[in-house]
Each structure stands twice: as C-alpha cells, then as structure tokens.
Amino acid sequence: TAPDSDKIVMKRIDVSQSSEADVSAALKRPSQKSADAILNIVTPIINDIRENGDKALLSYTHKFEKATSLTSPVLRAPFPKEMMNLPAETIKAIDVSFENIRKFHAAQKEEKPLQVETMPGVVCSRFSRPIERVGLYVPGGTAVLPSTALMLGVPAMVAGCHKIVLASPPRADGSITPEIVYVAHKVGAESIVLAGGAQAVAAMAYGTESVTKVDKILGPGNQFVTAAKMFVSNDTNAGVSIDMPAGPSEVLVIADRDANPAFVASDLLSQAEHGVDSQVICIAVGMDEQHLTALDDELHKQAMALPRVDIVRGSIAHSVTIIVKDIEEAMRISNDYAPEHLILQIKDAESVVPKVMNAGSVFIGQWTPESVGDYSAGVNHSLPTYGFAKQYSGVNLASFVKHITSSNLTAEGLKNVGDAVMQLAKVEELEAHRRAVSIRLASLNK
C-alpha cells in the first residue's frame, strides 16, 4: 500500500463549522489563464489562416500535430470504407448510442409552428429553420472523443443542417480516428477538416480554398480553441456564431447515507480522469465519520487502479467533499455552484429534481452514472461548464436552428391594434411609423 502522503483524497469542509466565505472559496473553479495572454497567441494564427488559407492551415497541422505527411487539410464525403475499419463491437456501440441520441433530439422538434391570435385579426407565429452550415469541433488531446462527434453531429443531422463540417486534429501519421470518420459518415457530414486548435476554428469561420465556411461553430476545446471561437464570433465580418463559452469539465455528486460509497467514488473518478483541470465535488448529506471514511477509502482504492491515475491525482487535488446537514443545504450549494453535471445519489432522488435550478444535466438515482449520459442514454454531453449553467443550456436541437417569427393581420386586426402602434410611434417621434398605420386605416374608411 502507498504511504499516507500519497493517498488520493479530497479535502473536506464541514458547512456547520465554516463561514460562507470558506465554503465558496472551496468551491472556486481552478483559475484559467488570462484571456488576454491566450488571445495574443491565437490572433496571429487566425490572421494567418485568413490570409494564407490552406497553406497556413497545413503548416500548423504539420507543426502542432506532427502530421507532416498530410498534403490536404480536408477529407470530403463519401469517406473511404477503409478509413472506418472498426471492430464489430465498436460499430454496435456507436449505432446504439447514435439511435438513442437521435430519438431524444428528434423528440425536441416542434411539431408545428406556434401560432397565437393576440387580438382578433392579429396572428403571431414562430417557426424554425435549420442553420445552413455548421462546424463541429471534436477535440484531440489525451483521449479520442468520437462521442463528442455523436453529440454534435446527430442533432445537426436531426435539425436538417445542409452542410455538416467536422474538424478534428489528425494523428501524427496524418490519419483520423476511424470512429470519428464512421460517425461523420453516419450523420452525413460533407467533410472532415484535419486540423485542430485555433487554426481549425479560423478555417471554418472564414473558409479557405478547401474548407467550407460555416455559420456556427460548436464543440468543446482547450483554451486556444475557446479563445478562437470567442474571437471569430466577435468579428462581424466572419458572420459566425458559437455555442457557449467552455471551461474544464466538472461534476457535483450529492450523496446521502444510503448511497453506495463505491458508486459515488466511481462517478467522482469518471469526471476526474478527464483532465487535471477537471473539478469534482461531493456533497455529503448527513454523513458521519464512518460514511466519510468509507467514501475516502473507496476513492483511493479505485483511483489507484485507474490507467489515468496521474491525471486523477491532479484533479482530486483541487476537489472537495462538502459536509451538509440536509438536502436543502445541499441544493442551495449546488444551485450556487451550477455544475455541468449533477448526480443525485440520494433516497427518493426524483423528488429532489424540482429543487434543481442551475445544472447542465442531472443524473437521477444510484443506477444512473454520468457515463451513460456521456455516451449512450440519449441526452447531450456538450454542456455549460464553469458556472455557465446559470444562463446557458447544453447543446440541444435548438442549438442548430433559428426561430423566425411572423405576423399576419386582417383589416380588422389592424383596426384593433392600430391605436397602440400610432400612439407609441408618436411617443418615439417616428412619424413614418405612425403613418404606415394611419394610411391604411384611412383607406379602409374610404
């Protein structure tokens, strides 16, 4: 056994014995590098792509991905079969997940346009149309993430986006993970951009000789990718929007005395293994020392058996167990933290859901690990992090459509609403606005 100093253990804080300030200090997210510093690095890269297109894009891929044999930055559909050579069990897993994600996102479609007659003869409607071209960023890095390609590609397909462009950094031999190619094929992607980082984002935002320009860029990424997404979405000349600001991944597990310590530890670790900057929080409800120790022991034991134990050590170092007396206190802290993932391993978990005010996605009860949502249940795993669950939704069908409104008035309708319009136009001293109504009403009285 490892010496105690090596024990992988979360620090503890007991709410009944701490000030509010101490509790919020313990829940502070690991701080990010200053946006300015990152922006200084990505701006020249973005400008280079705008000016030099494919040539610049390839040279960054040669440099950062070491894929020096690559001669074209884009792979166009139909993708060659030999690029999707996968074991049968992988195909099956992707197919099952694809179908569940498809079902859940298809159910988010609006059956028919929303229509309301606000006054007799005044009909307001709202209908949706797909965003025509979307760019989906699938990160490379320490893990390959075909699941992210599914989470972005399936709703884009369901929404009916005409052009789906996937971008992902190639491997050093210039190839792209076959799982990602297979997903790209299944969602009907038109192309795969073999590039990562700010350069991939810039290529999709502005287009190059071979990269299709897109209207919206979605998907997680490191701080360079995030900074590049922010940059291009602020450039009105690019005409591109993004999904949401991204930060490191996180989970908050609320567990009570009935929770199985092995289950709780496994959930904390599945998030902790994502990266050293991941944060995991456990809120222990009404637990005594014996329960808490059982949890600590499980966490250490399971962590030591993980291939990514070194990453886990890093993330556990800034993670915390918070001891509270009841579920009300737990929910108050959770809503304030606004976790990307919220796991409820408590008695009668479902009954607590109405108290959830801020969270990206909720996992209810002991049989629902976060992993099912990460891959296969059907819910989306592209979720707001870093407290942005207070104002952002995760990726969903609406992320791939615009809502358009319409009004349709009869003469009677214009009579009914006209006075209000003319009066407000008068207040704003916009005479042409007033006359657009009065001229019509006068024609009715002729």
Q: How far apart are CA 258 and CA 346, in angstroms?
A: 7
Instruction: Please tell me whether residue 312 adopts helix, strand or coil conformation.
Output: helix
Nearer of residues 371 and 438 to Zn ion, judged by Cβ: 371
Q: Are 85 and 100 in contact (CB under 8 A)?
A: no
Residue 45 is given by DSSP the state H
Rounded to an integer, what distance in angstroms lies between the CA atom of residue 195 and that of residue 65?
8
State how far the Cα of 91 lies from the Cα of 81, in Å rounded to an integer: 13
From the candidates 340, 350, 370, 381, which is the catalytic residue?
Answer: 340
340 is a site residue for Zn ion (CB under 5 A): no
Binding-site partner at residue 145 among ligand HSO, Zn ion, none, CB < 5 to 8 Å by type: ligand HSO
**Contacting ligand HSO within 379-438 (CB under 6 A):** 381, 383
The one of Zn ion, ligand HSO, none whose footprint includes residue 368, by CB under 5 to 8 A per kind, is none
**Smallest distance from the beta carbon of 311 to ligand HSO, in angstroms?**
13
Site string for ligand HSO, 350-389 (x = CB under 6 A): ------------------------x------x-x------
Nearer to Zn ion, 282 or 287 (CB): 282
Q: Does the footprint of ligand HSO cover residue 145 (CB under 6 A)?
A: yes
Is 190 assigned a catalytic role?
no
Q: How far is the CB of 305 from Zn ion (least distance, A)?
A: 18
Q: With CB cut-offs between 5 and 8 Å by kind, which of Zn ion, ligand HSO, none does residue 383 bind?
A: ligand HSO
Least Å from the CB of residue 241 to Zn ion: 26
Write out the binding residues for Zn ion, residues 23-62 only, by CB under 5 A. Answer: none
Is 300 among the residues known to form the active site? no
Pair type for strands 320-324 and 11-14: parallel
Catalytic residue among 105, 185, 318, 341: 341
- Separation of alpha carbons 255 and 282, rounded Å: 7
Tokens 């007033």, residue? 434
What is the arrangement of strands in the sheet containing 11-14, beginning at the earlier edge strand?
11-14, 320-324, 279-285, 250-256, 341-345, 361-364
Out of ligand HSO, Zn ion, none, what residue 97 binds, judged by CB under 5 to 8 A for its kind, is none
CA distance linking residue 221 with residue 238, whole number of Å: 20
Q: Are 271 and 278 in contact (CB under 8 A)?
A: yes
Closest to 109 in 3D by CA, of 185, 160, 164: 160
Q: Helix 146-159 crosses helix 88-106 at what angle (to 10 degrees)?
A: 40
Residue 249 found at the interface with ligand HSO (CB under 6 A): yes
Contact track, Zn ion, 298-337, x by CB under 5 A:
----------------------------------------
Q: Per CB under 5 A, does 273 bind Zn ion? A: no
2: which residues sit within 8 A by CB, 6+ positions away?
304
Q: How far is the CB of 163 from ligand HSO (least distance, A)?
A: 25
Q: What are phi and psi of 352, to 5 degrees?
A: -90, -15
Q: What's the min distance (Å) between Cβ of 360 and ligand HSO?
A: 8
Window 146-165: residues binding ligand HSO (CB under 6 A): 147-148
CB of 375 to Zn ion, least distance (A): 8
- For residues 330 and 23, give the distance between their C-alpha atoms in angstroms, rounded to a whole number: 12
Report the 10 Å Cβ neighbour count for 439.
Answer: 9
Q: Determine if the peptide bond prior to 261 is cis (ω within 30°).
A: no
User: Which among 304-312, 372-380, 386-394, 432-440 is the span making contact with Zn ion, rule CB under 5 A?
Assistant: 372-380
Q: Which positions lie near ligand HSO, rule CB under 6 A?
A: 145, 147-148, 249, 274, 374, 381, 383
Q: Which positions lie near Zn ion, rule CB under 5 A?
A: 374
Among all residues, which ones are annotated catalytic? 340-341
